[in-house]
Amino acid sequence: DVADGKEVWHADLGGYVVRSTAVVDDGVVFAASGYAVTALDAATGAVRWQAPVRFVGSASPNLAGGLLLAPTQEGNLYALDPATGTEAWRRRVEGLVFGSVAVDDGRVYAGNEAGLVWALDAGSGRETWRATVAGAVLGSPAAADGVVLVSSEGPSLTAIEASTGRRLWTAPVGGAASPAVADGAVYLVGDDGGLT
């Protein structure tokens, strides 16, 4: 309870460590842990559905375009029906994916530990483009105003044109953190310990 901190309910997600943030939408909590994505009733904690997914949990799921998107460390991106947990599509994106996906204008953006970044069609999972950045992508990309921003272990912050995958610019700051975009500016905590 927000007012007094008393526990309203708790739920067992299978005994795996949950490293990601749950997503809450329309009275449902979506949580990823280990070998499943679970939908819980936000008021009671009752399980609505559970979908089997391998090695999920370090990245938060994302709701977009009527789908629940869940990346895995195994290199798969699952798109699930948020009402039932039924798999709409699954895409192998190669390598280990540690960060959540970004979604903007009907496209899903993901990066991996090999420094590859993908754009996928949100409705079908079909690859639109792929690009390479300097170093591992451990955080989540950010997408806004037709630009995808990716922090990597280069260290570098790379701006990529969302529609084509063309590199727009690179700045010499980066690391494992995810960039944030607001009011025409990009904010990033780099591996140097500073905020840029």
Residue range 8-22: average pLDDT? 85
CB–CB of 157/168 below 8 Å?
Answer: no
Choice between 168 and 35, residue whose per-residue pLDDT is larger: 168
Return the pLDDT at 166: 97
Q: 11 and 63 in contact (C-beta within 8 Å)?
A: no
Res. 15: pLDDT tops 80: no
85 C-beta neighbours (distance < 10 Å), count: 20
Q: Band the pLDDT of 74: cuts 50, 70, 90.
A: confident
What's the pLDDT at 72? Answer: 87
Cα 25 to Cα 13, 53, 63, 64, 121: the distances in Å are 18, 20, 8, 11, 22
Residues 84, 33: Cα–Cα separation, whole Å = 18
* DSSP codes of every residue in 66-89: TEEEEEBTTSEEEEE-TTT--EEE
Please name the helix (run of DSSP H) or strand (run of DSSP E) that holds residue 148, with its range, or none.
strand 147-152
* Alpha carbons 182 and 97: distance in angstroms, whole number: 25
pLDDT of residue 65: 86
Write out pLDDT tens, residues 82-135. Answer: 999 999 999 988 788 889 999 999 999 999 999 999 999 999 999 999 999 999
Would you state the pLDDT for residue 56?
A: 82
- Residue holding tokens 């375009």? 65
Band the pLDDT of 5: cuts 50, 70, 90.
very high
Residues 119, 88: Cα–Cα separation, whole Å: 18
Task: In whole angstroms, give the CA distance from residue 182 to residue 185.
Answer: 6
pLDDT tens, position by position, 144-188: 999 999 999 999 999 999 999 999 999 999 999 999 999 999 999
Q: Which tokens go with 49?
A: 């559905």
Averaged over 190-195, what is the pLDDT?
90
Rounded distance, CA 69 to CA 60, Å?
Answer: 9
**Do residues 133 and 115 make contact, with C-beta atoms less than 8 angstroms apart?**
yes
Q: Determine the 3-state secondary structure of 147 from DSSP.
A: strand
Residue 17 pLDDT exceeds 90:
no
What's the confidence (pLDDT) of residue 75? Answer: 84
Amino acid 19: pLDDT = 81
Question: How far is the C-alpha of 35 from the C-alpha of 141, rounded, in Å?
Answer: 24
Per DSSP bridges, beta strands 87-92 and 76-80 are antiparallel
Say yes or no to pLDDT of 14 above 90. no
